[in-house]
């Protein structure tokens, strides 16, 4: 079974990510060892961006074709996006306490990330409230498309507005001022998180198919 192989691959990649995060990457010059939380925090949000991008894709696809597979893609990706955004927020909070000196503050980055989390939690709640599949898919697709407007707001918030959060190192406009081994460790963990996401998505979509009673689709 291909999904199972993907699961093993993701597991191995995560182990490699751990090994690189703790065994290869050096301490960071200013933050010391606590900076290693970055190898969870940044891959998590990048994976969440990917997830919400797929929600957008699935939502557009569903409105255009009314194919149930699109709706299942959007619903599954949304659940995973909420999971990965949650991990981003919690690990970021744990990282913020020893470095910034606070678990949380209402700056533009943290606020917009909280909004992102709430919008897609709302998306999932909405799906739970509408029973009729056609209407559920249609309503959800609208939220899925509108919610995607949040992704650039979250990402560029640190560039557009003053914040406590530092500007983007990865996916930033300029070449990132980051030491090569730290960048390598980030990349390995990003790949690992992406594999984990694809594995989860495949299983979640399979569950949605069984739920829909779709033997053929």
**Residues of this chain, 84-113, that bind other proteins according to CB under 8 A:** 86-87, 90-91, 94-95, 97-102, 105-108, 111-112
Q: Does 196 bind other proteins (CB under 8 A)?
A: yes
The answer for residues whose C-beta is within 8 angstroms of residue 21's C-beta and 6 or more apart is: 36, 39, 185, 188, 189
Residues 128-157: x/- map of binding to other proteins (CB under 8 A)?
----------x---x--xx--xx--x---x
Which of positions 68-87 make contact with other proteins (CB under 8 A)?
83, 86-87
Please, how many CA atoms are within 13 Å of residue 146, restricted to the half-sphere of its CB? 11
Hunting for tokens 């899925």 — which residue is that?
Answer: 144
The first and second tokens of residue 160, run together, are 């557009």
Name the one range near other proteins by CB under 8 A: 48-56, 67-75, 123-131, 202-210. 202-210
Token pair belonging to 13:
């990649």
Task: Tell me if 61 contacts other proteins by CB under 8 A.
Answer: no
Among 36, 72, 127, 155, binds other proteins (CB under 8 A): 36
In the complex with other proteins, the residue whose CB is nearer, 69 or 202, is 202
Which residue among 8, 206, 214, 217 contacts other proteins (CB under 8 A)?
206
What is the distance of C-alpha 72 from the center of its chain?
Answer: 18
Q: What is residue 27's DSSP assignment? A: P
> What's the burial of 180, exposed, middle or buried (CB within 10 Å: 0-12/13-18/19+)?
exposed
**Among 7, 132, 161, 141, residue whose Cα is nearest residue 63:** 141
Is residue 24 part of the contact set for other proteins (CB under 8 A)?
A: yes
One residue of 2, 132, 177, 216 binding other proteins per CB under 8 A: 177
Residues belonging to the chain: 217
Q: Determine, following the binding rule CB under 8 A, whether residue 21 of this chain makes contact with other proteins.
A: yes
């Amino acid at each position: 079974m291909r999904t199972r192989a993907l699961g093993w691959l993701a597991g191995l990649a995560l182990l490699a990510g751990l090994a690189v995060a703790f065994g290869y990457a050096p301490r960071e010059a200013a933050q010391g060892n606590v900076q290693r939380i970055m190898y969870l925090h940044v891959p998590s949000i990048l994976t969440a961006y990917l997830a919400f991008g797929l929600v957008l894709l699935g939502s557009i696809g569903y409105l255009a074709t009314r194919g149930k597979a699109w709706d299942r893609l959007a619903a599954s990706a949304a659940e995973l996006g909420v999971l990965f955004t949650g991990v981003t927020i919690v690990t970021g909070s744990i990282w913020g306490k020893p470095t910034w000196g606070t678990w949380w503050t209402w700056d533009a980055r943290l606020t917009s990330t909280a909004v992102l989390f709430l919008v897609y939690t709302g998306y999932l709640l909405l799906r739970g409230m509408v029973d009729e599949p056609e209407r559920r898919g249609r309503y959800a697709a609208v939220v899925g498309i509108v919610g995607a407007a949040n992704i650039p707001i979250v990402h560029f918030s640190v560039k557009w507005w003053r914040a406590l959060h530092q500007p983007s190192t990865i996916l930033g406009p300029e070449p990132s001022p980051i030491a090569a081994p730290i960048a390598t460790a980030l990349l390995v963990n990003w790949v690992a998180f992406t594999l984990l996401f694809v594995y989860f998505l495949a299983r979640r979509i399979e569950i949605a198919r069984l739920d829909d009673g779709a033997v053929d689709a």
